[in-house]
Structure 1
Amino acid sequence: MAKGGFKRRIPLADALDMLAQHGFEIGSEEVSFDCALGRVLAEDVVSEMNNPPFDRAMMDGYAVRAEDAFGASQASPVLLKVVGVTVAGDTVSAVVGRGEAVKVMTGAKAPEGADCVVMVEYTQERDGVVEITVSVPPGKHISKVGEDIKKGDLLLKSGTVLKPQDLGVLAATGNLKVKVRKKPRIVVVSTGTELAAPGEKLGAGAIYDINSYTLSSLASGLGAEVVSRSIITDDESLLEDVLDMKWDLLLLSGATSVGEKDFVPEVIRRRGEVVFHGVSIRPGSPAGFGVVGGRPVFMLPGFPVAAVTAFELLVTPYIQRMLGTNVAVPHPTIEGLLTKAVPSQLGRVDFIRVRIEKHDGKISVSPVSAKGAGLITTLTKADGFVLLDAKKEGIEAGETVEVYLF
């Protein structure tokens, strides 16, 4: 066995427990709300004002006293004196007294004395008098102060990943600054003397680097900041240089198994601690995790599908904890019937790539034929994946399975 090789594979559940015990705090920062899309709140946000901040007309029409329009109909209209006009943005409007009305536009401040708005469709104005042909109850078409948001209301909870509508509620309440979790600074490195950057001329035995691009994209999608993406040859001194860089989380792919060139675990062990190496997952079993200088390092397999699997199962929950978000598989799910049996072994979690088809309203789930973890097209041909539980020896054809959609 090569140096740094693993003698056993620990259960995925044990690996996740170890990761939870080796969390890494990245702190928080204050940013402008309009630059916070996709960021994670580091504290609750409470409204400091009412919204709307005044009684607001919700329709074009006439603001009146409901009792003055009581009994109005087309056969027996009510006539009211128009004493003013108010549009959105006006700070002062006429006061509505008995037998009076004020013409209002949508969004305008409701005039004092009025308790409802009659839609313009049920009115006709002539010579300063409006004819009303419908009766309306108090409060109709008026949004009261604080109807949407009251001062002191909890708007957004800590851990919320801010969406466009969340920025809207921040704008509506004047919360111009928000405290968010800092983005973890991630360095991604593919190891392998055989690797070349896409676009370079390939020499004999060379292949293009895949993993640094897929892993960087996965990390960015979770809200992390990839500060460096690179390739290094199978040279321990180059890895030592990477370990001396500034980063919050390091993702290494390749050189993590038990071959003569698989030097990564040994270097991590020499510079810090290997917490675990070897996980009972397929593909991705050579994955490992270590700590160097108090900072977390993931050792991921070199085969592209194995690297993605290990990222989904191990790195994703770790980054979610760094950001303070819910720890969960970040993919929508759908259920369907498996078309073909999938064997496995007890104690191992299998990452099964699948295609989805719909026939007569039923959803069928078909495993993508895979001859190995090095075939990246088995991911591009798949619609998602099924996680086969470690407590099962397989899944029979016809069973209902949950699919995580890409």
Structure 2
Amino acid sequence: MSTDRKQSGFKQRTRVDDALAALRDAVDPHGRAAEVPLAEADGRTLAATMTAPANVPAAPEAAMDGYAVQASDTFGASDRSPEILRTVDAEPTEEDVGPGEAIRVHTGSALPEGADAVVMIEQADPVADEVEIFDAVAENENVAPAGEDVEEGQQLYDPGHVLRPSDLGLLKSVGYTEVPVFEQPEVTVIPTGDELVQADPGPGETIETNGLTVARFVERWGGDATELDPVPDDEEQLKAAIRSGLDGELVVTSGGSSVGERDLLPEVLEDLGEIVVHGVALKPGHPFGFAVCEGTPVLMLPGYPVATIVNAVQFLRPAIKRAMDAPLPPHPTTEARLDRKIASEPGVRTFARVRLEERPDEPLPAAIPTRVSGSGVLSSVALADGWVVVDEAAEGVDAGDTVAVQDWEANR
């Protein structure tokens, strides 16, 4: 980094959307896929279209406990005048139901050949080798037809779908034991700073938290994280750490990304590759930037914990999804009434941390700002229920306004 840049600071900041577009262009989907067992596929991203190879159920089934019958044998049955059928003492799949006959079945049992309806157990009274039927049933009543759940050839999921537990159950029901998923992008996480220690800080030292936080986010968002120990503010050690991750899809650092004397990462990345963005119109955390080194994007997250989280959600998450060619689902939001005014700087996208509070006789919960400034106060985001995004074009949000509170930790 040049002396001029260190002295002048950030004269211009890239708009968030422009920085995201540039980052998307820099990340190439890796395209690698592998078959994994269903039990290991929760949260993984499908790499192929999944189509049902068979009907579910495969054949008509009883939808109720009762008796499989020919519906025409029950016409006219009532409490006063039950129809009497001969019971066939056999498993449902071992014998057909003929005229005037009934076979005991359970929910999910295969419907015997010849039967076209099921009389519920509550409407039948077995007596010796006969059963009295007290209610008429129509053809196909209380019967689950073949393919009622899933039809053979039905398209179930598209490539890019992120698998959920319910999806795994459905895929198992149609016969899959493994699924093709994109391999997890390899992401190297590098916390930086002379002052960082893992525990028992002395004077002037700080417990390192960003590496743990970012690595777990990487895994939640679908990546495979390699978390390095904190790297001191030394150009050669920083270069070595970054080079160790360039065989993967992404490298992400925290700390050392601004323009101070100890902020060495921009200069290091200029030596290793090309800086594409440095400084974004975002608060907290405007010193974000990224470079491309030997074809691998290297994301620079600011060192303050809140700024690290905001920028990781805004930039690292989309980069991981892009590397897998997976969709980027929007964050779920809660509509709330703002309890206190949020101030913001025009031209800067602001992320104001809030907690939600239900109040009697008010239709919407109150969104109470925990902090707008203070990017080093980790508790302000860890104890919040979400954040309110103030657009660049706005000059704050007034108390009493209805806002959308993003739950940025709710999804993958």
Establish whether TM, by shorter chain, passes 0.5. yes
Q: Distance in 2 between matches of 1:179 and 1:210?
A: 35
Deviation larger for 302-311 or 364-373 = 364-373
- Map 1:4-403 → 2, pairs under 5 A: 6-26=10-30, 27-86=32-91, 92-197=93-198, 199=199, 201-245=200-244, 246-329=247-330, 331-359=331-359, 360=361, 361-369=363-371, 371-403=373-405
Offset from partner CA, 1:55-111 (integer Å, 9 cap, x none): 111222110011110111110100011123326xxxx32111111111112222111
2:19 partner letter: A
SS of 2:312's equivalent in the other structure is helix
Q: Hey, what's the Cα distance between the residues in 2 that align with 1:370 and 1:153? A: 49
Name the SS of the counterpart of 2:212 in structure 1.
helix
The runs of 5 or more residues in structure 2 that have no matched partner are none
Secondary structure at 1:171's aligned position in 2?
Answer: helix
| Secondary structure of residue in 2 paired with 1:355 | strand
Q: How many residues align?
A: 399
**RMSD of equivalent CA atoms:** 1.6
Bigger strand share: 1
Separation in 2, partners of 1:349, 1:85? 72
Asked if the contact 2:215/2:226 (under 8 Å) is kept, the reply is: no
Q: 1:108 to 1:4 in 2, by over 3 A?
A: farther
Cα offset, 1:404, TM superposition: 0.9
Say whether the 8 Å CA contact 2:231–2:238 is kept in structure 1.
Answer: yes
SS of residue in 2 equivalent to 1:390: coil
The runs of at least 4 consecutive aligned structure 1 residues that moved more than 4 Å come to: 1-6
Q: TM-score, normalised by structure 2?
A: 0.93
Do 2:342 and 2:372's aligned partners in 1 also have CA atoms closer than 8 Å? no
Return the letter of the residue paired with 2:178. K
Shift of the 18–233 alpha-carbon distance from structure 1 to 2, 3 Å rule, reads same
- Contact kept? 1:42, 1:181, Cα under 8 Å: yes
Determine the C-alpha separation between the residues in 1 that align with 2:162 and 2:144. 29
SS in 2 for 1:343: coil
Identity, % of aligned positions? 37
Query: Do the aligned partners of residues 34 and 122 (structure 1) sit closer, same or farther apart at CA in structure 2, a change above 3 Å counting?
Result: same
AA aligned to 1:281 is L
Whether the aligned pair in 2 keeps the contact of 1:84 and 1:94 (CA below 8 Å) is no
TM-score normalized by the length of structure 1: 0.94
Rounded Cα–Cα distance in structure 2 between residues aligned with 1:103 and 1:328: 49
SS at structure 2 position matched to 1:366: strand
CA distance in 2, matches of 1:380, 1:214: 11
CA contact (8 A) 1:216 1:229 kept: no
SS at match of 1:367: strand
Change (3 A) 1:242 1:4: farther
Cα 1:124–1:4 change in 2 (3 A) is farther
